[in-house]
Chains A and B, each alone.
Chain A
Amino acid sequence: MSAASDVIIVGGGLMGSSAALFLRGHGLSVTLLETDLIGRQASGTNFGNVRRQGRPIHQLPLANRAIDIWRRSRELLGADVEYLQSGHIRVCYRERPELVGSMEDYADKARAEGLDLELLSGNALRDKFPFFGADVLAGSYSATDGHANPRLAAPAFARAAERLGAVIHEHTKIVDAQKIGEDFVVSAADGRTFRAPILLVTAGAWGNALSSQFGEPVPIVPRGPNMSVTEPVPYAILPAVGVMTPVEEETVYFRQVARGNIVLGGSTRGPSFPDQYRAYVEPQNTVSQLKHIRRLAPALGKLNIIRVWSGIEGYLPDSQPVMGPSATTSGLYYAFGFSGSGFQIGPGVGETMAEIIAKGATDIPIAPYTIGRFAKG
């Protein structure tokens, strides 16, 4: 005897949890299945950037939809996920002056999509934010971006969905999914089965295991973010800060939470182990990250790191997610493989997927994310 609902969602990260909430808003019954605990991997261990600037221009409508949800998250979720609209700055270094042109070009295009960015010279930046190092050449400031707490966000979406009637099963590892007649039958490792005419796969780095069962394998690679946090210090750094550079090691970022701790991320990504549900921070990556943080903001060099962590993220070769309907199977939908950039857009992804499932269409452009782009031949 299998449990039945209108929609089964496999994967309880931010995408799946927010999709569950918005599907309930459309009146559909939802069963959300999660292998482990809600929001424990990519959704819970990422940097927490609620950042629109720097995303592909074609993604800004989705990011704008998401920012509306973040802004009303407290009322929507009945919980504080520590969302702060405290600004975001992207900077470039002296040896790459050509990036200033890229920033200007991006700002022009972003303005047309409703995202206002202010370009500042290095000195103007240092006047406003004295923690920047001498190597910083220029920056692009987005006053309406910010950050939130990833540990809290996905679970808060899931609890809100549950209050509206979504059924959530944690510790439910899915080993098989098939379409039998009009219904998808989804089987857990312990033998339970779940049945629904619609299946949404939001399984992050594990997404390929399910899409492959429907003849749509994707070349997803699991990796882990490289995160650190300092001891708490007086709250003084409002915006989240990141470096624009073509060199992966230089790509570091930081933000200060209201409690006072400064969260550091980036430089390199480590290996992760989806089969073991663990990702480890390589010590060399911590050392490399701290080196590049010192260059970006030398004053941080006096602080201590109290913890590092990682999680399991799914990366696709073009760094764009798979999002939208299946190309092979009606009633099947995907939203996974956000390639380390899913947190800000997460709630927008959930709302958009719910809209596509409930109404059959959306105004949000999702063509770049079709799973068909990985089809052979």
Chain B
Amino acid sequence: MAEPRIIIVGAGPAGTRAAEACVQAGIRPIVLDEGRRDGGQIYRRQPDNFTRPYTKLYGTEAPRAQALHETFDGLNDRIDYCPETLVWNIADGHVRTATRTMESALPFDALLLCTGATDRLMPVKGWQFAGSYSLGGAQVALKSQAVSIGHKVVFMGSGPLLYLVASQYVQAGADVVAVLDTAPYSARIKALPDLLAVPSVLWNGVALTLALKRAGVMVRNSVKPLEILGDAADGVSGIRFRVGDGAEQMIACDAVAMGHHLRPETQLADLARCKFAFDPVTRQWLPERDGDGRSSIAGVYLAGDGAKILGARSAEASGRLTALAALGDLGLPVDKGEMASLRGDVGTYAKFARGLATAFPWPAEQAGALPDEAILCRCEGVTAGDLRAVMRETGAKEANRAKAFSRVGMGRCQGRYCGLAAAELIAAQAGIPVERVGRLRGQAPVKPINISIGDTDA
């Protein structure tokens, strides 16, 4: 029998551990990754000629980052690694890849989607001004290029990344003006039992918050963002907000990094025609999978934050577990005991992730309360008022229908950044649960591809 063809999409924590498991089983997998280097987002590697040490780049997670990178480097001649390669579509047992204008169709017996996550964003009036970044974007600027997004930076939103990136900016010497958390402090207390599932990560989080306060950074909870001030010419100039029901406050700044935890990049699972189900805890649609990462489509497996946000440590475990499941399904011998132990690890991280979702809730009501003039879809410049007017005129209250009539989610990002907030706004306006709004259907390409794709002369 020919060697089974395993394709892994993504070279972050899940993809790296999946590739390692394949190599250990004697299989040479193909690893496709959009990044210039392996490591994914959380363990993003700096460019070759940069020399900052691990502790500086990854803080408490430095040993894990280093171990992961060393593992990947060790696999080098035993995998087919394609960096800067976009998987833009999946059909008929092939993934379709684009590397600049080169296009290929790669057949697979097992496809492991380790596609990672991006920021989950809640629009705020003024978020289209230059100087507004996602938390992830702000972190990439620092980690990869050693630059800050501004001179005076405000971090706003909720979730562990809010505190992590803010403290990384402080350590790098940036002027962090404030950390504005939309979650009430009481939510953290409520989440404590679940958060205690992984005490070391919980402690890291507490330490980050304390370090920020020690550095003199203003940290506020129960924040209601009102507006990012600025103009189209000069970008961000400040931020307006309330704390609880308190008086309106204003802070001057020239950059804002915002985000509410993360959302999985599920478009490839969608194009592979996997079934999705609504997750009421995070209020997102997620691809269905069994405990070992099998999707509803035979031969397609899902691991890491690309399937559900459980964090980097869980991604390493689920990447390995899912690879073992795939190898087993292909008839190769796998260690059942190890799989059981990995399942236990993933379960523990899942409990912790549920705690995070409770501690840093997605402020769904903020979408419904967006003022009419606030831009909701930045790609297409559609305001909250535009969408509401379309709903009144046409009666549309299903996500794809509202998109077709209003252009919300129809632009360059295909709703990856505004889609979840748009669904909340539709639900609020129509007075229906957000799951009834449905989800935007995934359509190729996953990210924009050039018209010259496949042109061998280009």
Interface string of B87-115 (1 = CB under 8 A from A): 01101101010000001010000000000
Q: B147 in the interface, Cβ–Cβ < 8 Å?
A: no
User: Is B405 a contact of A286 with CB atoms below 8 Å?
Assistant: no
- Chain B at the A interface: mostly helix, strand, loop or mixed? loop
Q: List the interface of chain B (C-beta within 8 A of A).
A: 88-89, 91-92, 94, 96, 103, 105, 380, 393-394, 398, 401, 404-405, 407, 410-412, 414, 443-445, 448-455, 458
B454 x A290 contact (CB < 8 A): yes
Q: How far is the CB of A68 from chain B (nearest CB, A)?
A: 25
Residues of A within 8 A of B450 (CB): 301-305
28 contacts between A and B (CB under 8 A): A37-B398, A155-B394, A159-B394, A230-B451, A231-B412, A231-B448, A281-B443, A281-B444, A283-B96, A283-B444, A284-B105, A287-B103, A290-B453, A291-B454, A291-B455, A294-B451, A294-B452, A301-B450, A301-B451, A301-B455, A301-B458, A303-B450, A303-B451, A305-B449, A305-B451, A307-B410, A308-B443, A308-B445
Given contacts A283-B88, A301-B455, A307-B444, 7 further A-B contacts (CB under 8 A): A37-B401, A282-B92, A290-B452, A301-B450, A302-B451, A303-B451, A305-B450
A271-304 near B? 1/0 per residue, CB < 8 Å: 0000000001111101100110110000011111
| Minimum CB–CB distance for A310 against chain B, Å | 9
Closest to A37 in B: B401
Q: Given the complex of chains A and B, what is the CA–CA distance between A281 and B103 in angstroms?
A: 16
CA distance A300 to B92 in the complex (A): 29
Given contacts A155-B405, A306-B445, contact A282 B414 (CB under 8 A): no
CA distance A183 to B29 in the complex (A): 65
- Chain B residues within an 8 Å CB radius of A290: 451-454
Q: Does A164 contact B (CB under 8 A)?
A: no
Are the C-beta atoms of A286 and B455 separated by less than 8 Å? no
The answer to whether A151 and B405 touch across the interface, beta carbons within 8 angstroms, is yes
With A37-B398, A231-B448, A287-B453 already in contact, the answer to whether A306 and B412 are too (CB < 8 A) is yes
Which residues of A line the B interface, CB within 8 A?
37, 44, 79, 151-152, 155, 159, 230-232, 259, 280-284, 286-287, 290-291, 293-294, 300-309
Contacts of A309 in B (CB 8 A): 443
Q: In the complex, what's the smallest C-beta–C-beta distance from A192 to chain B, in angstroms?
A: 20
Q: Which of B91, B394, B451, B452 is within 8 Å of A283, CB to CB?
A: B91
CA distance A291 to B455 in the complex (A): 7
Is there contact, CB below 8 Å, between B451 and A287?
A: no
Q: Is the CB of B454 within 8 A of A287?
A: yes
Closest Cβ of chain A to B95, distance in Å, is 9
With a CB–CB cut-off of 8 A, which chain A residues contact B398?
A: 37
Q: Contact partner of A306 among B103, B407, B448, CB < 8 A?
A: B448
